[in-house]
Structure 1
Amino acid sequence: MTKSATPRSALSAVTALCAALALAGCSMIPVYNRPAAPVAVDWPVLPANTSATGELSAVPAADLEWQDFFSDPKLKQLITTALNNNRDLRVAVLNIESARAQFQIRSADQLPSVNASVSGLRQPNINGNGSISSSYTAGLAVTAYELDFFGRVASLKEAALAQFLATQEGRKTIQISLIASVANTYLALLADEELLAITQQTLATRQDSLKLSQLRFDNGVSSELDLRLAESLTEVTRVSLAQQLRQRAVDQNTLTLLLGQSLTPELMPRLATGSGLATMPLLQDVPSGLPSDLLARRPDVRQAEQLLLASNANIGAARAAFFPRISLTTSAGSASSHLGNLFQSGSYGWTLAPQLVLPIFDAGRNQAGLDGARVQRDTAVAQYEKAIQVAFREVADALAGRATLGEQSRAQQAQADAETIRFRLADLRYQNGVSNQLELLDAQRSLFTARQAAVLARLAQLQGQVTLYKTLGGGWKEAALNTAP
């Protein structure tokens, strides 16, 4: 460590360091221009004879909290449980913390690291007289601090910041998908319960018909053809019952995975006695807005754009690698040739050791790094554009469902009502000997099919509303997340 009689030289060194820091910060990051959205300026025009369902809300989906969108207390309880326990969401939160740490590391690289340093050195003198020289130092040291004249470190920090913001948007996307998945699975389980009840009722009816057919056949009143038809319809219903039981078990397992815990009895979806999906109120009908709104409303689109910004910042770091890299090593403190005199008055000293490294020959390494960064940026552009296209298609599909599923559900329920009346009339005609058993069994089969179709149509209508809410970015409030790194 070089000795100094006065601290004025050290002050000059510190001044030079501050001037270097002030000059640092030149950025070589390309100017970012958001790519044009590769989608139409408006949604596809739907047929004029279709109609939307529900009353249109004045609040956009992205601004409508899920607690306000869903009114079913049981469903709210399930969603809350999933948000607290779901493992995918937990991993997403941990990814945010990991990205936050990387950003803080890159931010710290812009400032020098000051360390306390104590060192000692003993070595033989070069004059060959056998004496040993000693040197002891203690003080503060800055080692190999890069003066970021060409913005390499700043570019890496900007890339880390964009990566951090992208993980936040990814967390929002996972939460939105989780809420929609819980809601759709809940509705599917309610439909399973209703379909199971319909199947069990139909099986009981067909078993009674089979007993009657067997009795009529044994007494020679009807042919074996009628008996075998009744037997076939009974077994078809048994097949449907087994399918419904299996589907309910599968949906329960899906809900268990989404919740992140066992499906306890108090969390189990159940239909109220005498009710069904047809009696459930419609969910709020949210406005679709314009396709350009997706750029600001959809977290997955914003995530793709942040990844694009990160790739753009990496180009700046790759460009800066072509220019000189200046690093600084400095220390200030006490120095002495005797350990006992290390902290005595007059032992102050300092060192300043700047270093400049200019690339001359690297076998094309820096150029390859720049080319790779540009390819990654072009890839990120394509992924961003695809995210917009996928979002547009999802919303367009959901809007098509909103425009048609309501009419489909209404017509399907009307058919089920008509088949109910037809079955009653066929049964009355059969009891009075006006029609044969074949007509009764055909009416019974049509009624079973129509009732099942009505439940599935209503399920599709309700799930379509959930899907539209999801595709428009609903299920997350921006103010609920602290975005400060």
Structure 2
Amino acid sequence: MKNILVLIATLLALSGCSLTPHYDRPEFPVADAWPTAVQEEKDASLPAWETFYSDPQLRQVITQALKNNRDLKVALLTMERTRALYRIEAAAALPQVDAGASASLQRVPADLSGVGGAITSRRYGLSVGVTTFELDFFGRVKNLKEEALQSYLATSEAQRSVRLSLVADVASSYLALAAARETLGLSAATLTRSEASLTLVRRRFEAGVVSLFELEQNRSQVAAARIAVAAAERQAAAALQALQLLVSAPLPEELLPQALAADDALLVPALSELPSSVLLGRPDIVGAEHQLMAATAHIGAARAAFFPSITLTGALGTASSELSGLFKGGAGVWSFAPQVSLPIFDAGRNRANLEVAKKNQEIAIAQYEAAIQNGFREVADALSGLVALDAQFAAQQELLEASRSRRDIALLRYEQGVDSQLTLLAAERELLSAESTLVDLRRQRLAARVTLYKVIGGGAF
């Protein structure tokens, strides 16, 4: 008994020493400030997507996508599967209690019974017991449970990352459809003007006022305008198909945009004023940190394999040769079977497992730091892209104003007979090109904000 008490005291003393490495978050491997943004003291939080996307039609489209998208459903099911695996590991920390009932009947012939006659024996039993419950003195079960928990949390972040990407893809497709329809409207208006001009020129040609050359110029202009309309229709149809594929359902016309909304009516700006530490909320970075925590916990489980494993098996119940005697006095039975297993020789398996666990932790650290660096680069690229697009947009606005003024002057000079219609047609083409380019630049600026919101972390879901 004294030896047993000494053994138990020794095990308890050893169990007080944690075999799991202390977890310290790696240092932030990037600068505190974005390279192209002026930093201010701001709350390091992002608005939820319902706030960021202020257009009510777009919010409804995104909501439908979150309900129907197949990729998101796969990610959600994967998360639920990982949660079930965590529950399996968590259950190992508690004893498994089973109840059982048994009955056995056996007949022994006379020549084997040893009593001169055949014997029929009966045995009935009821029991409640614990099967191979491991006493977790060295934290093996605890660390495996922690590893499963962190893996589940990492999968949860992966599911959030899919949601974030889906929202950004839907918003970008919505903007592409809006821009395509607005461009289609510009092309259709140009075609209407060209057809009206052709009708007028044809009448003047029939009256002998203008030449055949001028008539053919107008016909070419109308044909070019029809080609532009057809191309814009094809682009709008493709954008609609892409949006409906993301939503995984047909969309009613009242939810579809007819043109790009104003910048301030669609998105909330000023994301660039957030500090770079906001990256720590990105799903991929949070998931990478959970994977690092899981790898750290696995080291503790690998170290515990070098120490004794203690399991308990026990049962308590009743047994009787008669069914009616199961609950009579004196029918109680019990069993208790503790077992200690101490590794002596395993050909280096435990040591190799520990080395693998340590290398996995080093890999997880590198992946965590790489995720932060990649996120910082993506945000920096998005910010510099926004700056460039803003400058390009301002220059394009000036070009559009000049093109519109040139078209008006060309029209006036043509009506006064100072210039030929060739000059007017060239001014019309230049104006349409400037208008279409400005629409596309507006789409790019809005899409760049969508991308920035995505790569900076996306807010809460």
Could you say which TM-score interval applies, normalised by the shorter chain? 0.7 to 0.9
1:302-355, Cα deviation, whole Å (9 max, x unpaired): 111111211222222222223332221111122335544332102222111112
Q: Structure 1 residue 241 and structure 2 residue 241: aligned?
A: no
- Kept in 1: contact 2:44–2:278 (CA 8 A): no
**Residue 202 and residue 280 in structure 1: after superposition, are their counterparts in 2 closer, same or farther (change >3 A)?**
farther
Q: 1:228 to 1:57 in 2, by over 3 A?
A: farther
Q: Find the aligned partners of 2:455 and 2:356 in 1 and give their Cα distance.
A: 34
1:79 aligns to what?
62
From 368, 373, 380, give the equivalent of 2:364. Answer: 380
Q: Within the alignment, does 1:151 sit opposite 2:134 as a pair?
A: no
* Pairing 1:234-383 to 2, within 5 Å after superposition: 234-271=222-259, 277=261, 281=265, 283-287=267-271, 288-295=273-280, 297-383=281-367
Cα distance in 2 between the residues matched to 1:41 and 1:280: 28
Find the residue that maps to 1:386 and give its secondary structure: helix
Q: CA deviation at 1:212?
A: 6.6
Of 144, 163, 166, the match for 2:154: 166
Q: CA 1:425–1:366 in 2, change beyond 3 Å: closer, same or farther?
A: same
In the other structure, the counterpart of 2:80 is: 97
Unpaired segments ≥5 residues, structure 2: none
Give the one of 375, 387, 406 matched to 1:403: 387
Structure 1 residues 162 and 280: CA distance shift in structure 2, 3 A: closer
In the alignment, what sits opposite 1:416?
Answer: 400
1:176 maps to 2:164 = yes
Partner Cα separation in structure 1 for residue 362 and residue 203 of structure 2: 77
With the length of structure 2 as denominator, give the TM-score of the two structures: 0.84
What do residues 445-471 of structure 1 show as CA deviations (whole Å, max 9, x unaligned)?
211110011111111222222332333
1:420-450: CA deviation from partner (whole Å, max 9, x where unpaired)? 1101111222232222333222212211110
Kept in 1, the 8 Å contact 2:42–2:275? The answer is no
Greater mean deviation of Cα atoms: 339-348 or 130-139: 130-139
- Correspondence for 1:3: none
* Distance change >3 Å, CA 23–CA 324, structure 1 → 2: closer
- C-alpha change, 1:368 and 1:301, in structure 2 (3 Å) is same
Structure 1 residues 59 and 265: alpha-carbon distance in aligned structure 2, compared to 1, 3 A threshold: farther
- Does 1:191 pair with 2:191? no
C-alpha separation in 2, matches of 1:25 and 1:165: 28
Q: 1:142 is matched with which residue?
A: 130
Question: Which residue of structure 1 lines up, in the alignment, with residue 427 of structure 2?
Answer: 443
Q: What is the CA–CA distance in structure 2 between the aligned matches of 1:147 and 1:25, rounded to whole Å?
A: 14
**Offset at residue 159 of structure 1 (A):** 0.8
Whole-Å Cα distance in 1 between the matches of residues 413 and 52 of structure 2?
A: 49
Please point out which of 461, 465, 481 is paired with 2:445. 461
Matches within 5 A, 1:466-481: 466-476=450-460
The answer to whether the 8 Å contact 1:118/1:137 transfers is yes
Q: Tell me what 1:482 maps to.
A: none
Aligned to 2:338, the other structure's residue is in SS state strand
Match of 1:44 in 2: 35
| Distance 1:425-1:65 versus aligned 2 partners, 3 A rule | same
CA contact (8 A) 1:58 1:286 kept: no
Residue 28 in structure 1 maps to residue 19 in structure 2: yes
In 2, Cα distance between equivalents of 1:107 and 1:412: 61
Q: Which residue of 2 aligns with 1:7?
A: none
Aligned length: 448
Kept after mapping to 1: 8 A contact 2:166/2:246: yes
Tell me the equivalent position of 1:108. 91
SS in 1 for 2:339: strand
- Consecutive unaligned residues of structure 1, counting only runs of 5 or more, are 1-12, 478-485
Letter in 2 for 1:262: P
| 1:195 aligned partner, one-letter code | T
CA offsets, 1:373-416, max 9 Å, x none?
A: 33333332232222212211222122223434333323312211
Q: 1:39 to 1:279 in 2, by over 3 A?
A: closer
SS in 1 for 2:460: coil
Contact 2:135 2:311 in 1 (8 A): yes
Q: Secondary structure at the match of 1:156?
A: helix
The TM-score, its normalising length taken from structure 1, stands at: 0.81
Deviates more, 1:445-454 or 1:317-326: 317-326
Do residues 70 (structure 1) and 58 (structure 2) align? no
Q: What do you get for the CA RMSD once the two structures are aligned?
A: 3.5
1:203 counterpart = 2:202: no
Contact 2:187 2:228 (C-alpha < 8 Å) held by counterparts? yes
**Contact 1:200/1:241 (<8 A) preserved:** yes
- Is the 1:41–1:291 Cα contact (8 Å) retained in structure 2? yes
Alpha-carbon distance in structure 1 between the residues aligned to 2:13 and 2:191:
84
Cα distance 1:103–1:428, how it changes in 2: closer, same or farther (>3 A)? Answer: same
- Contact 1:30–1:316, Cα closer than 8 Å, also in 2: yes
How far apart are 1:261 and its partner, in Å?
1.8
Residue 366 to residue 398, structure 1, CA distance change in 2 (3 Å): same
For residues 70-98 of structure 1, give each alpha carbon's deviation from its aligned partner in whole angstroms, at most 9, with x where no partner exists. 33221222222223333333333333322
Whether the 8 Å contact between 1:172 and 1:476 is mirrored in structure 2 is no
Change (3 A) 1:438 1:270: closer
1:402–1:464 contact (8 Å) kept in structure 2: yes
Aligned equivalents of 2:395, 2:316: Cα separation in 1: 86
- Cα pair distance change 1:320/1:408, threshold 3 Å: same
> Cα gap change, 1:278/1:448 in structure 2, threshold over 3 Å: closer, same or farther?
farther
Per-residue Cα deviation, 1:264-309 (whole angstroms, up to 9, x for no partner): 22322234xxxx54586363223432222311x2222111111121
